[in-house]
A = this chain, B = another copy of it.
Amino acid sequence: MTMKPKYKTKQREILLSYLKQTPGKHITAGDVCEYFKEQGTPIGQATVYRQLESLVDEGLVNKYSIDANSPACFEFMGEETHEGKEVCFHAKCEECGKLIHLHCEEILHIRDHLFADHGFMLDSKRTVFYGICEECRAAKA
């Protein structure tokens, strides 16, 4: 993971800048294909999937699986927080899709626990806490 891309292609550039322009939105691979087709600069779907996977590996983009049986969502994560910097975990509401950033000590404690007691080195970039947020719970009641 966190391997740099070898080439800098046009498709990669416009795909990444598209994701940058839509912060906090749920973009699926299908959305990307559709968007660029409408723009008159279509990208092959295989390329879209392969580039998205690369971007996720590089840590620039996060991948979300809200529902087991609906397409995965992608979201630009920003470029600063790649290396070691402050760790940030994310919680995603399965209902409204809201992304909550977690910086608290309790989360860090879990990471240490997994490492100390389970020998498991947690990857904060890929791990997402799924659940229902406060607003959606209130709305359901």
Contacts and interface: CB of A to CB of B under 8 A. Distances in A.
A120 to B, nearest CB: 5
B127 A114 contact: no
A130 B123 contact: yes
A140 to B, nearest CB: 10
Interface string A103-118: 0101101100110011
Q: How many copies does the complex hold?
A: 2
A130 B126 CA distance: 6
Nearest to A137: B121
Give the dominant DSSP class at A's interface.
Answer: mixed
B133 A119 contact: yes
Interface residues of A, number: 35
Interface of A: 1, 65, 67-69, 72, 91, 93-94, 100, 102, 104, 106-107, 109-110, 113-114, 117-123, 126-134, 137
16 contacts: A1-B94, A65-B65, A65-B68, A91-B120, A93-B120, A106-B110, A119-B133, A120-B129, A120-B131, A120-B132, A120-B134, A121-B137, A122-B129, A123-B130, A123-B132, A126-B130
